[in-house]
Structure 1
Amino acid sequence: MKQLQKEIRQFTEERGWTGNHDARNLAISISLEASELLEHFQWDAPEEAVALRKNEIAEEAADVFIYLLQFAEAIGIDLEEAARSKMKKNAARFPVNSN
Protein backbone atom coordinates (compact mmCIF):
# COMPACT_ATOMS: atom_id res chain seq x y z
CA MET A 1 0.00 0.00 0.00
CA LYS A 2 2.89 2.36 0.69
CA GLN A 3 4.12 1.89 -2.88
CA LEU A 4 0.70 2.74 -4.26
CA GLN A 5 0.56 5.85 -2.06
CA LYS A 6 3.96 6.86 -3.44
CA GLU A 7 2.74 6.41 -7.02
CA ILE A 8 -0.39 8.46 -6.31
CA ARG A 9 1.68 11.20 -4.64
CA GLN A 10 4.01 11.33 -7.66
CA PHE A 11 1.07 11.47 -10.08
CA THR A 12 -0.46 14.35 -8.10
CA GLU A 13 2.82 16.25 -7.77
CA GLU A 14 3.61 15.95 -11.48
CA ARG A 15 0.32 17.68 -12.27
CA GLY A 16 0.66 20.38 -9.63
CA TRP A 17 -2.45 19.26 -7.78
CA THR A 18 -1.00 19.09 -4.27
CA GLY A 19 -2.27 22.53 -3.24
CA ASN A 20 -5.85 21.27 -3.05
CA HIS A 21 -5.10 17.99 -1.33
CA ASP A 22 -5.64 18.92 2.30
CA ALA A 23 -7.72 16.80 4.70
CA ARG A 24 -10.93 18.76 4.14
CA ASN A 25 -10.80 18.69 0.35
CA LEU A 26 -9.84 15.03 0.29
CA ALA A 27 -12.70 14.12 2.66
CA ILE A 28 -15.10 15.99 0.38
CA SER A 29 -13.66 14.19 -2.65
CA ILE A 30 -14.16 10.80 -0.96
CA SER A 31 -17.81 11.63 -0.36
CA LEU A 32 -18.35 12.90 -3.90
CA GLU A 33 -16.73 9.85 -5.48
CA ALA A 34 -18.69 7.53 -3.16
CA SER A 35 -21.86 9.23 -4.37
CA GLU A 36 -20.81 8.64 -7.96
CA LEU A 37 -20.28 4.97 -7.09
CA LEU A 38 -23.73 4.80 -5.52
CA GLU A 39 -25.30 6.40 -8.58
CA HIS A 40 -24.60 3.23 -10.59
CA PHE A 41 -27.01 1.33 -8.30
CA GLN A 42 -29.76 3.95 -8.19
CA TRP A 43 -32.39 2.33 -10.39
CA ASP A 44 -31.21 -1.24 -10.90
CA ALA A 45 -30.96 -4.34 -8.76
CA PRO A 46 -27.36 -4.74 -7.53
CA GLU A 47 -26.71 -7.78 -9.70
CA GLU A 48 -28.02 -6.01 -12.79
CA ALA A 49 -26.01 -2.86 -12.08
CA VAL A 50 -22.80 -4.87 -11.76
CA ALA A 51 -23.57 -6.90 -14.88
CA LEU A 52 -24.26 -3.76 -16.91
CA ARG A 53 -21.61 -1.40 -15.54
CA LYS A 54 -18.90 -3.34 -13.75
CA ASN A 55 -16.04 -1.38 -15.37
CA GLU A 56 -17.56 1.99 -14.46
CA ILE A 57 -18.27 0.77 -10.92
CA ALA A 58 -14.66 -0.41 -10.60
CA GLU A 59 -13.41 3.00 -11.74
CA GLU A 60 -15.56 4.82 -9.17
CA ALA A 61 -14.44 2.40 -6.43
CA ALA A 62 -10.84 3.09 -7.45
CA ASP A 63 -11.46 6.85 -7.21
CA VAL A 64 -12.79 6.41 -3.66
CA PHE A 65 -9.78 4.24 -2.77
CA ILE A 66 -7.27 6.69 -4.25
CA TYR A 67 -8.75 9.64 -2.40
CA LEU A 68 -8.91 7.58 0.81
CA LEU A 69 -5.22 6.72 0.50
CA GLN A 70 -4.40 10.37 -0.08
CA PHE A 71 -6.52 11.40 2.90
CA ALA A 72 -4.83 8.86 5.16
CA GLU A 73 -1.40 10.03 4.09
CA ALA A 74 -2.37 13.70 4.53
CA ILE A 75 -3.33 13.21 8.17
CA GLY A 76 -0.89 10.44 9.06
CA ILE A 77 -3.16 7.39 9.30
CA ASP A 78 -1.87 3.89 8.63
CA LEU A 79 -5.02 2.46 7.03
CA GLU A 80 -3.99 -1.16 7.45
CA GLU A 81 -3.40 -0.65 11.15
CA ALA A 82 -6.60 1.39 11.54
CA ALA A 83 -8.65 -1.30 9.75
CA ARG A 84 -7.25 -4.08 11.93
CA SER A 85 -7.91 -2.03 15.07
CA LYS A 86 -11.46 -1.32 13.96
CA MET A 87 -12.07 -5.00 13.18
CA LYS A 88 -10.98 -5.89 16.74
CA LYS A 89 -13.40 -3.32 18.13
CA ASN A 90 -16.17 -4.63 15.89
CA ALA A 91 -15.47 -8.22 16.97
CA ALA A 92 -15.85 -7.22 20.62
CA ARG A 93 -18.95 -5.17 19.89
CA PHE A 94 -20.61 -7.75 17.65
CA PRO A 95 -19.54 -11.21 18.91
CA VAL A 96 -20.36 -14.33 16.92
CA ASN A 97 -23.47 -16.04 18.24
CA SER A 98 -22.55 -19.45 19.54
CA ASN A 99 -26.02 -21.01 19.56
Structure 2
Amino acid sequence: MDKYSKVVEELIQFRNDREWEQFHDSKNLALAISIEAAELNELFLWKKEEEVENINKDRLKEELADILSFSFLLAEKHNLDVFDIISEKIKNNALKYPVDKAKGTAKKYNEL
Protein backbone atom coordinates (compact mmCIF):
# COMPACT_ATOMS: atom_id res chain seq x y z
CA MET A 1 0.00 0.00 0.00
CA ASP A 2 1.40 3.42 -0.92
CA LYS A 3 1.67 6.33 1.54
CA TYR A 4 -1.31 8.18 0.10
CA SER A 5 -3.64 5.17 0.35
CA LYS A 6 -2.43 4.47 3.88
CA VAL A 7 -3.11 8.06 5.00
CA VAL A 8 -6.58 8.09 3.43
CA GLU A 9 -7.35 4.75 5.09
CA GLU A 10 -6.21 6.15 8.45
CA LEU A 11 -8.34 9.28 7.96
CA ILE A 12 -11.40 7.21 7.15
CA GLN A 13 -10.82 4.90 10.13
CA PHE A 14 -10.38 7.90 12.45
CA ARG A 15 -13.56 9.49 11.07
CA ASN A 16 -15.60 6.29 11.20
CA ASP A 17 -14.51 5.39 14.73
CA ARG A 18 -16.07 8.67 15.85
CA GLU A 19 -19.15 8.38 13.59
CA TRP A 20 -18.26 11.68 11.91
CA GLU A 21 -19.02 10.53 8.38
CA GLN A 22 -22.52 11.96 8.83
CA PHE A 23 -20.94 15.44 8.98
CA HIS A 24 -18.57 14.95 6.05
CA ASP A 25 -20.76 15.85 3.10
CA SER A 26 -19.12 17.73 0.22
CA LYS A 27 -20.29 21.15 1.40
CA ASN A 28 -18.97 20.72 4.92
CA LEU A 29 -15.65 19.31 3.74
CA ALA A 30 -15.22 22.25 1.34
CA LEU A 31 -16.08 24.70 4.12
CA ALA A 32 -13.64 22.97 6.47
CA ILE A 33 -10.87 23.32 3.86
CA SER A 34 -11.64 27.03 3.52
CA ILE A 35 -11.72 27.58 7.27
CA GLU A 36 -8.45 25.73 7.80
CA ALA A 37 -6.88 27.72 4.94
CA ALA A 38 -7.95 30.91 6.75
CA GLU A 39 -6.23 29.59 9.88
CA LEU A 40 -3.11 29.00 7.78
CA ASN A 41 -3.30 32.59 6.52
CA GLU A 42 -3.62 33.79 10.09
CA LEU A 43 -0.08 32.51 10.75
CA PHE A 44 1.20 35.11 8.30
CA LEU A 45 -1.14 37.95 9.26
CA TRP A 46 0.63 41.17 10.22
CA LYS A 47 4.07 39.63 9.74
CA LYS A 48 6.79 41.64 8.08
CA GLU A 49 8.39 40.28 4.94
CA GLU A 50 11.46 39.03 6.81
CA GLU A 51 9.25 37.26 9.40
CA VAL A 52 7.06 35.21 7.07
CA GLU A 53 9.69 32.56 6.31
CA ASN A 54 10.32 32.01 10.02
CA ILE A 55 6.82 31.25 11.26
CA ASN A 56 6.16 28.56 13.82
CA LYS A 57 6.74 25.29 11.92
CA ASP A 58 4.58 23.25 14.30
CA ARG A 59 1.59 25.52 13.63
CA LEU A 60 2.34 25.43 9.90
CA LYS A 61 2.38 21.61 9.94
CA GLU A 62 -0.85 21.52 11.93
CA GLU A 63 -2.76 23.81 9.58
CA LEU A 64 -1.42 22.12 6.44
CA ALA A 65 -2.36 18.72 7.88
CA ASP A 66 -5.92 19.93 8.48
CA ILE A 67 -6.22 21.32 4.95
CA LEU A 68 -4.76 18.21 3.34
CA SER A 69 -6.84 15.85 5.49
CA PHE A 70 -10.12 17.48 4.52
CA SER A 71 -8.95 17.71 0.89
CA PHE A 72 -8.10 14.00 0.81
CA LEU A 73 -11.48 13.13 2.33
CA LEU A 74 -13.32 15.28 -0.22
CA ALA A 75 -11.36 13.71 -3.09
CA GLU A 76 -12.03 10.22 -1.72
CA LYS A 77 -15.75 10.98 -1.40
CA HIS A 78 -15.84 11.73 -5.14
CA ASN A 79 -13.51 8.89 -6.15
CA LEU A 80 -10.80 11.29 -7.28
CA ASP A 81 -7.14 10.39 -7.13
CA VAL A 82 -5.31 13.40 -5.71
CA PHE A 83 -2.13 12.70 -7.66
CA ASP A 84 -4.04 12.30 -10.94
CA ILE A 85 -5.95 15.55 -10.53
CA ILE A 86 -2.78 17.45 -9.61
CA SER A 87 -0.94 16.03 -12.63
CA GLU A 88 -3.87 17.01 -14.86
CA LYS A 89 -3.81 20.53 -13.40
CA ILE A 90 -0.06 20.85 -14.04
CA LYS A 91 -0.57 19.83 -17.68
CA ASN A 92 -3.41 22.35 -18.09
CA ASN A 93 -1.35 25.08 -16.45
CA ALA A 94 1.58 24.30 -18.75
CA LEU A 95 -0.70 25.15 -21.68
CA LYS A 96 -1.96 28.34 -20.03
CA TYR A 97 1.49 29.42 -18.87
CA PRO A 98 4.08 28.54 -21.50
CA VAL A 99 7.62 29.02 -20.20
CA ASP A 100 8.55 31.57 -22.86
CA LYS A 101 5.71 33.86 -21.75
CA ALA A 102 5.33 33.11 -18.04
CA LYS A 103 8.92 32.74 -16.85
CA GLY A 104 9.71 35.21 -14.09
CA THR A 105 6.31 36.89 -14.03
CA ALA A 106 3.30 36.51 -11.72
CA LYS A 107 0.83 37.70 -14.36
CA LYS A 108 -2.31 35.67 -14.89
CA TYR A 109 -2.53 33.66 -18.12
CA ASN A 110 -4.93 36.14 -19.72
CA GLU A 111 -2.46 38.97 -19.05
CA LEU A 112 0.56 37.34 -20.70
**What is the TM-score of this pair, normalised by structure 1?**
0.91
The equivalent position to 2:95 in structure 1, one of 74, 92, 95, is 92
Query: Any gaps of 5 or more consecutive residues in structure 2?
Result: 102-112
Higher RCO (CA 8 Å, separation ≥ 6 residues): 1
Asked if structure 2 preserves the Cα contact closer than 8 Å seen for 1:50 and 1:57, the reply is no
Summarize the Cα distance change of 1:81–1:20 in structure 2 as closer, same or farther, 3 Å threshold: same
Asked if structure 1 preserves the Cα contact closer than 8 Å seen for 2:75 and 2:81, the reply is yes
1:45 positional shift: 2.9
RMSD: 1.5
Q: Among all aligned residue pairs of Structure 1 and Structure 2, give the percentage whose two residues are the same amino acid.
A: 36
Bigger helix fraction: 1
1:80 and 2:87 matched: no
Secondary structure of the residue that 1:40 maps to in structure 2? helix
1:52 positional shift: 4.0
Equivalent-residue separation in structure 1 for 2:49 and 2:60 (angstroms): 11
1:55 and 2:63 matched: no
Bigger radius of gyration: 2
Summarize the Cα distance change of 1:5–1:46 in structure 2 as closer, same or farther, 3 Å threshold: farther
Query: Any gaps of 5 or more consecutive residues in structure 1?
Result: none
User: For residues 48-97 of structure 1, what are the alpha-carbon distances to aligned partners after superposition, in whole Å with 9 as ceiling and x for unaligned?
Assistant: 24424121111001100000000101112111100001100100111111
- 1:69 is aligned to 72
Summarize the Cα distance change of 1:47–1:11 in structure 2 as closer, same or farther, 3 Å threshold: farther
**What is the TM-score of this pair, normalised by structure 2?**
0.81
- 2:37 is aligned to 34
Which residue identity does 2:34 align to in structure 1?
A: S
Q: Which portions of structure 1, spanning 4 or more consecutive aligned residues, are displaced by more than 6 angstroms? A: none
